Structure 1
Amino acid sequence: MVTAIVMAGGKGTRMGVKKEKPLIEVGGIPMIQHVINALLASKRISDIIILTSPNTPKTFKFACIEGYSVFQTPGNGYIEDLQYYISKCFPQNPNKIILTITADLPLITSEIINHVLIEYAKSHKPAMCIAVPLELFVKNGLKPSIVLGDVVPSGLNILRSNNKQQDEEVLKLGKIELAVNINSCEDIVVLEDVLSNIGLKI
């Protein structure tokens, strides 16, 4: 089985709002809750850990109140915080499969998560990066944060718990659900347009 780690410790400075990004509501529900719901609905996920930091104290409180497993990291950055958690929690289990996902993917579904894990099981590499074709961003008026050639990393990854650099396979999925991550107030407007255009509902 797979441990899912929800990355929710970033500063979210690009949002330009005081509210912590994981708690910004989409469809009346905090973004992070949409992600958690999708993970809970996947039978391939054994447990869920939310990583927060001093940058997101209200998210930490939210997770505790809701009864979720939460781990406080130093807040030094995405990779640094993930490595910190792995070193503290998996020192004797270097082959544990970990799925990491950012808290700003409100459209993610259990079906997509299951599909990704099935593809990972077929792969011969220890890590997998799930990427979205750049053309999907262009088509829907979305602004990617990072572009790697003709794809954009989605914020969903799989790796082993050994804290070492791992050979990874890039799985390209043309899913709008993976393209819409919320990094600015403008992204929320685009999200509403996308929902309207493709008939997705939150």
Structure 2
Amino acid sequence: MIGIVMAGGKGSRMNLDDEKLLLQYKKPIILHVIDSLKNSNYFSKIIAITSPNSPKTKTLLEENNIEIFDTSGIGYVEDLNSVLQKFNDSILVASGDMPLLDNEIIQTIVNHYDSQKTWTSILVTDRLLTSIGIKSDYSIIHNQQKCHFTGISLINSQKINSLENVEENYVVIDDKRIALNLNTKQDYDLLSTT
């Protein structure tokens, strides 16, 4: 399995002077995500997806000997699609802005991988997000409850030609380690309370 970390976004909703993935939570947040994948011992390769939107993040990753895949930075879907075309493997995709990730929750997620399914998105319930004070704009109704996307997916890239018309499956894992994506300054402020 290949671990892919999306690290090429602008982070424009944070309205910061510096790049979002360089925010500190004991160390730069992007390194928390990379290390959680490394320490799970599930991946033959870990690749960070960068773009012209994140030059300092790319430099930090290179200084830490992380393999880089450069994209255009047009958008998340376009960048991810260009990466998936390059691989013929099982893939875990994670957003680079998840500071609470650790190797144990990565192992739990990978255990849900089913090679018969093209795409499985990991969800958390609205109840969990509300209980820890997080708001999300990306929700769906799954099994008659409101759920939110975590930014983590399990993909069988052998079954993908493009990201159009891909059948998406869902797994709910209610765990705060995957509930917190840093999309706003309020999300970052929540880190000090965890």
TM-score by length of 1: 0.87
Deviations 1:153-174, CA, capped at 9 Å, x for gaps: 0011011223434323211011
Amino acid at match of 2:15: G
Structure 2 residue 36 is the aligned partner of structure 1 residue 43 = no
1:65 match: 63
What is the distance in 2 between the residues matched to 1:34 and 1:106? Answer: 6
| Contact map agreement 1:100 1:157 (CA 8 A) in 2 | yes
Deviations 1:10-56, CA, capped at 9 Å, x for gaps: 110111112111111112x1000000110001121111000010000
What stretches of structure 1 move > 6 A for 4+ residues in a row? none
**Aligned with 1:85 (options 62, 80, 83):** 83
1:191 match: 191
What is the distance in 2 between the residues matched to 1:109 and 1:163? Answer: 31
Amino acid at match of 1:144: S
Tell me the SS of whatever aligns to 1:59.
helix
1:138 match: 130
What is the distance in 2 between the residues matched to 1:42 and 1:36? Answer: 10
Q: Cα gap change, 1:163/1:22 in structure 2, threshold over 3 Å: closer, same or farther?
A: farther
Amino acid at match of 1:26: Y
Amino acid at match of 2:125: P
What is the distance in 2 between the residues matched to 1:159 and 1:120? Answer: 8
Structure 2 residue 159 is the aligned partner of structure 1 residue 159 = no
Tell me the SS of whatever aligns to 1:45.
coil
What is the distance in 1 between the residues matched to 2:103 and 2:118? Answer: 22
Deviations 1:133-185, CA, capped at 9 Å, x for gaps: 01111111111131112100001101122343432321101101111111111
2:101 match: 108
TM-score by length of 2: 0.91
Q: What is the Cα deviation at residue 113 of structure 1?
A: 1.2
2:168 match: 168
1:6 match: 5
What is the distance in 1 between the residues matched to 2:83 and 2:113? Answer: 22
Q: What is the Cα deviation at residue 124 of structure 1?
A: 3.8
Tell me the SS of whatever aligns to 1:49.
strand
What is the distance in 2 between the residues matched to 1:16 and 1:26? Answer: 18
Q: Name structure 1 gaps, 5 residues minimum.
A: 196-202
The number of aligned residues is: 186
Q: Name structure 2 gaps, 5 residues minimum.
A: none
What is the distance in 2 between the residues matched to 1:82 and 1:126? Answer: 15
What is the distance in 2 between the residues matched to 1:73 and 1:191? Answer: 30
Amino acid at match of 1:12: G
| Contact map agreement 1:159 1:166 (CA 8 A) in 2 | no
Structure 2 residue 17 is the aligned partner of structure 1 residue 21 = no
Amino acid at match of 1:157: S
What is the distance in 2 between the residues matched to 1:163 and 1:31? Answer: 32
